[in-house]
Amino acid sequence: MSEKKVLYSGMQATNTLTLGNYLGALKNWVKLHEEYECIFGVMDLHSLTVRQEPATFRKNARSLYALYTAAGLDPKENCVYFQSHVSAHAQLSWILSCFTYMGELSRMTQYKDKAAKHEDNVNAGLFTYPVLMAADILLYQSDVVPVGVDQKQHLEIARDIAGRFNNIYGDVFTIPEAYFGTTGAKVMSLADPTKKMSKSDENANATVLLLDDRDTIIRKFKRAVTDSDTRVYYSEDKPGVSNLMEIYSAVTGSSFDEIENEFEGKGYGDFKLAVGEAVADELAPLQKRYDELMKDKTYIDECIKENDDKARYMANKTLFKVHHKVGLVDLIR
């Protein structure tokens, strides 16, 4: 293991990624390996908290792996692996669940939201979701975890569980910190700019998907809900156009002032078209690489196998230590 600090993150393998996932997370992960020992999981076990159609789910999970890679997360520089391929996640999750209180889990806002949204399937996995997430992070002795604001509460509980365990058994786990490096854009829904763009949104016009073709991307931006005005400027009470400026800025690197100047005297129509074209241009190379990767099963399989093995080795080291600490009989090797 190198001297670099360990950075850990991942995304659920549910549906296909949106521009929000890309600009808010994935795009910013690509360079982190220069400074950190990076581990990124395809969080497929977490996805099972919501009912999945098996064939689609399997396809989405592989597609997420290829999307990570196509976006520039090189599996030779980063440990990119499948959560479900490393059994230590489920094993540690069980042990940690015995150190987690019902009270603290019932305070999690994601649980409350998802339970309300999936009333017909409020399963125990939805409730213990943060324990599995704590296991993900703690297995790799992670120092830093880049997550969006919506996941901060889960990171807090991971820290609490780790601290509680360490208090009883000594220094077993590294206490992880949230990572706020270069802040990625927070992308809002194109149909309702007061809501986050989310991959589980049922309104197709609300999200731009990373695999949408050029015409679809441009059409979606043309239809984006904007405010009753025509001038392009950034303002809290103009969430629609401000969201588009945020996206345009994240993609082109222009500041808000530069964007205001560029579209001085032009209307929303021209601006929306420009944003759509800029996003389509940004995504074109990623999509091309994705198509190539999806055809190269041998390469992807080789990366998966290599990184699964690496992850398994690191995770088992922590798991065996935990087994020993809590008093389980050591494996006979």
Question: Per-residue string for binding with ligand ATP, 307-326, x by CB under 6 A?
Answer: --------------------
Locate the DSSP E strands across 77-157. 79-82, 144-145
**Span near ligand ATP by CB under 6 A; candidates 19-27, 174-182, 230-238, 305-313:** 19-27
Q: Does the footprint of ligand ATP cover residue 196 (CB under 6 A)?
A: yes
Rounded to 10°, the helix 268-295/214-222 angle is: 150
Q: How far apart are CA 297 and CA 61, in angstroms?
A: 14
Min separation Cβ 276 and ligand ATP, Å: 17
Residues 6 or more apart whose CB falls under 8 angstroms from that of 92 comprise 135, 138, 139, 315, 318, 319, 322
318 binds, among ligand ATP, ligand LTN, none (CB under 5 to 8 A by kind): none
**Span near ligand LTN by CB under 6 A; candidates 4-12, 165-173, 225-233, 304-312:** 4-12
**Span near ligand ATP by CB under 6 A; candidates 182-190, 247-255, 258-266, 278-286:** 182-190
**Helix (H) / strand (E) containing 39:** strand 36-43
Q: Does the footprint of ligand LTN cover residue 151 (CB under 6 A)?
A: yes
199 catalytic residue (yes or no): yes
Min separation Cβ 29 and ligand ATP, Å: 9
Nearer to ligand LTN, 133 or 206 (CB): 133
76 catalytic residue (yes or no): no
**Which of residues 12, 28, 141, 242 is near ligand ATP by CB under 6 A?**
12
**Helix (H) / strand (E) containing 10:** strand 5-12
**Span near ligand ATP by CB under 6 A; candidates 7-15, 32-40, 133-141, 289-297:** 7-15
Residues 322/141, Cβ–Cβ less than 8 Å: no
Q: Does the footprint of ligand ATP cover residue 199 (CB under 6 A)?
A: yes
- CA distances in angstroms from 64 to 16, 41, 101, 210, 221, listed in the order given: 7, 10, 33, 11, 24
Q: Of residues 105-134, which lie at the interface with ligand LTN (CB under 6 A)?
A: 133
196 catalytic residue (yes or no): yes
Min separation Cβ 151 and ligand LTN, Å: 5
Q: How far apart are CA 116 and CA 104, in angstroms?
A: 18
Q: Does the footprint of ligand ATP cover residue 148 (CB under 6 A)?
A: yes
Q: Which amino acid would we find at residue 235?
A: S
Q: How far apart are CA 46 and CA 83, in angstroms?
A: 9
Residues 6 or more apart whose CB falls under 8 angstroms from that of 35 comprise 4, 5
304 binds, among ligand ATP, ligand LTN, none (CB under 5 to 8 A by kind): none
Number of residues assigned to the chain: 333
Residues 175/159, Cβ–Cβ less than 8 Å: yes
Min separation Cβ 200 and ligand ATP, Å: 3
46 binds, among ligand ATP, ligand LTN, none (CB under 5 to 8 A by kind): ligand LTN
